[in-house]
């Protein structure tokens, strides 16, 4: 147990949000423990990683747009600092250097052959996370779609956000694999994207290097004493050693958390020195502050209005890149997007389903994604299927995240990031560190009466 008086934060949930918060707090010199049965395997594992506040916007979501634009601005510095702390930046380094669990999470493609070695001096930090900023191209097929793009372009113009209206031919000049039926498009040149699995792997690596602790266990409840939250209770611990990425991490790549996942601990280590925590037998962890970052599951531990919004998504493997930038469009009334990865994968997403905690990948979901993606880029049907996943977005009633102190002393929320947790991770940490007063007000838990 930490020494009395130490500034201890327990972060409940190690997705992109929880790990980002933990990393920033550890950087600030706080003593940090992340508790999660399967860090990085929630919605963050499923996410496409679009950092696209402009092309994601709808007319009713102006506050979300402000948050997204502010967070996108923070991404380059966030990525640079993260890759440095994770040991991935600089000449002669590559992502394969990520320690055990982190490398496992990121997957084999991050090892040799990923084309990252030695490119640190030339922006290797961005490449390590596959952070790219070639923009998003929103395409249209029919007169209605074109009219909608015109309206969107006018709206963006009013907001001073750069977008460019293109003809069908101009779209195909940018992306030759687009279908001949594409009649026009809107280019948001500032939009970017990143590989979220690389980000969570890098965050875990950075936490290990900073000596933070990651306890692989499920929190069953928040400890409350005298009207304040004082720590967390863990699911019945089992002996250490269920293997890297154990527990829910083995869930067939479906990005789901099995509620009874085994408790496992990994003591934080700096330059290989293992920190003994005795957490193998711990049933509780005391904290000065508990930060609830359990994504779609947050409502199981505190009264916060977060619900699961299911998203199915697939990754296709392409010998030659089909696209150079994100492409999206509306087909059969639903939105579909394609995101190219640096290693040749093409991500096709995503369904939006209100089905509770259901993470089954269904034939119907995959059929719709492929059917719609083929309308945009006919060549997708030739590609090999690499991976299919269903994740649970943490949705809120107003689609804005819930970030800041709760009504209960000792408990802080950083949850409810819905469709934009990867985009909003840098801003979320900035809000919690008090760097973003005005935007913090938009995310304040106070807007929901009586949550604690």
What angle is formed at CA 19 by the lines to CA 270 and CA 315, rounded to 5 degrees? 115
Nearest to 291 by CA among 4, 18, 3: 18
- Only segment of 150-158, 206-214, 281-289, 386-394 that touches ligand FAD (CB under 6 A): 386-394
Q: Are strands 284-286 and 228-234 parallel, antiparallel or unpaired?
A: antiparallel
Closest distance to ligand FAD from the beta carbon of 43 (Å): 4
> Cα–Cα distance between 53 and 70 in angstroms, integer?
9
Task: Provide the H-helix boundaries in 28-95.
Answer: 43-46, 62-85
49, 124, 185, 299: which one binds ligand FAD (CB under 6 A): 49
22, 35, 70, 129: which one binds ligand FAD (CB under 6 A): 35
What is the DSSP code string of 415-451?
Answer: E--GGGHHHHHHHHHHHHTT--HHHHHHH-GGGSTT-
Q: Site map for ligand FAD, 204-233, x if CB under 6 A?
A: --------------xx--------------
The two structure tokens encoding residue 195: 């590989």
46, 70, 127, 210: which one binds ligand FAD (CB under 6 A): 46
The answer to the question of residue 263 lying near ligand FAD (CB under 6 A) is: no
87, 246, 295, 365: which one binds ligand FAD (CB under 6 A): 295
Nearest to 11 by CA among 24, 26, 1, 21: 21
- How many residues does the structure list for the chain? 452
8, 11, 32, 43: which one binds ligand FAD (CB under 6 A): 43
> Cα–Cα distance between 198 and 182 in angstroms, integer?
33
> Cα–Cα distance between 1 and 350 in angstroms, integer?
43
The answer to the question of residue 422 lying near ligand FAD (CB under 6 A) is: yes
Q: 3-class SS at 172?
A: helix
> Cα–Cα distance between 221 and 232 in angstroms, integer?
6
The two structure tokens encoding residue 17: 């949000």
Bridge partners (DSSP) listed for residue 387: 315
> Is 348 or 383 the residue whose CB approaches ligand FAD more closely?
348
Q: What is the dihedral of CA 447, 450, 451, 452, to 10 degrees?
A: 130
11, 257, 376, 380: which one binds ligand FAD (CB under 6 A): 257
330-359 residues in contact with ligand FAD (CB under 6 A) are: 349-350
The answer to the question of residue 94 lying near ligand FAD (CB under 6 A) is: no
Bridge partners (DSSP) listed for residue 192: 51
The answer to the question of residue 304 lying near ligand FAD (CB under 6 A) is: no
Contact in structure between 89 and 124 (CB atoms under 8 Å)? yes
Residues binding ligand FAD: what is the number (CB under 6 A)?
45
**Residue of minimal CB distance from ligand FAD?**
15
8, 32, 48, 229: which one binds ligand FAD (CB under 6 A): 48
The answer to the question of residue 39 lying near ligand FAD (CB under 6 A) is: yes
23, 32, 41, 432: which one binds ligand FAD (CB under 6 A): 41
70, 294, 338, 388: which one binds ligand FAD (CB under 6 A): 294
Closest distance to ligand FAD from the beta carbon of 132 (Å): 13
- Only segment of 42-50, 149-157, 276-284, 438-446 that touches ligand FAD (CB under 6 A): 42-50
Q: Which residues bind ligand FAD (CB under 6 A)?
A: 12-18, 35-39, 41-44, 46-50, 218-219, 257, 293-297, 301, 311, 313, 349-350, 391, 393-394, 415, 417-423
């Amino acid at each position: 147990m930490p020494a009395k008086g130490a500034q201890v934060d327990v972060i409940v949930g190690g997705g992109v949000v929880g790990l980002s918060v933990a990393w920033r707090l550890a950087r600030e010199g706080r003593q940090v423990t992340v508790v999660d049965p399967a860090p990085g395997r929630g919605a963050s594992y499923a996410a496409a990683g679009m950092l696209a506040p402009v092309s994601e916007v709808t007319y009713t979501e102006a506050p979300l747009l402000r948050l997204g634009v502010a967070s996108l601005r923070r991404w380059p510095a966030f990525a640079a600092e993260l890759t440095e702390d994770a040991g991935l930046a600089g000449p002669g380094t590559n992502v394969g250097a990520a320690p055990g669990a982190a490398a496992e999470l990121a997957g084999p493609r991050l090892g040799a052959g990923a084309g990252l070695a030695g490119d640190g001096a030339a922006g290797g930090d961005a490449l390590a996370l596959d952070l790219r900023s070639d923009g998003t191209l929103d395409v249209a097929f029919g007169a209605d779609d074109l009219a909608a793009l015109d309206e969107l372009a006018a709206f963006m113009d009013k907001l001073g956000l750069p977008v460019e209206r293109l003809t069908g031919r101009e779209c195909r000049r940018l992306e030759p694999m687009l279908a001949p039926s594409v009649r026009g498009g809107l280019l948001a040149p500032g939009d970017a994207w990143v590989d979220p699995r690389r980000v969570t792997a890098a965050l875990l690596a950075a936490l290990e290097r900073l000596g933070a602790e990651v306890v692989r266990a499920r929190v069953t409840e928040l400890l409350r004493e005298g009207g304040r939250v004082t720590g967390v209770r863990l699911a019945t611990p089992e002996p250490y050693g269920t293997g890297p990425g154990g527990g829910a991490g083995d869930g067939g790549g479906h990005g789901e958390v099995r509620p009874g996942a085994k408790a496992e601990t990994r003591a934080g280590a700096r330059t290989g020195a293992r920190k003994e925590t005795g957490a193998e037998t711990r049933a509780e962890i005391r904290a000065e502050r508990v930060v609830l970052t359990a994504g779609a599951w947050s409502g199981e531990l505190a009264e916060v209005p977060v619900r699961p919004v299911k998203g199915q998504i697939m990754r296709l493997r392409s010998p030659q890149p089909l696209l150079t930038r994100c492409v999206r469009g509306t087909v059969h009334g639903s939105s579909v997007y394609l995101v190219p990865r640096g290693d040749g994968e093409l991500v096709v997403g995503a369904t939006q389903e209100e089905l509770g905690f259901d993470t089954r990948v269904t034939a119907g979901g995959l059929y719709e994604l492929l059917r719609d993606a083929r309308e945009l880029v006919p060549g997708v049907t030739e590609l090999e299927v690499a991976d299919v996943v269903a994740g649970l977005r943490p949705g809120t009633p107003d689609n804005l995240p819930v970030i800041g102190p709760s009504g209960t002393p000792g408990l802080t929320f950083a949850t409810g990031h819905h469709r934009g947790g990867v985009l909003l991770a840098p801003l979320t940490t900035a809000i919690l560190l008090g760097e973003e007063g005005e935007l913090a007000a938009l995310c304040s838990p106070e807007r929901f009466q009586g949550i604690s």
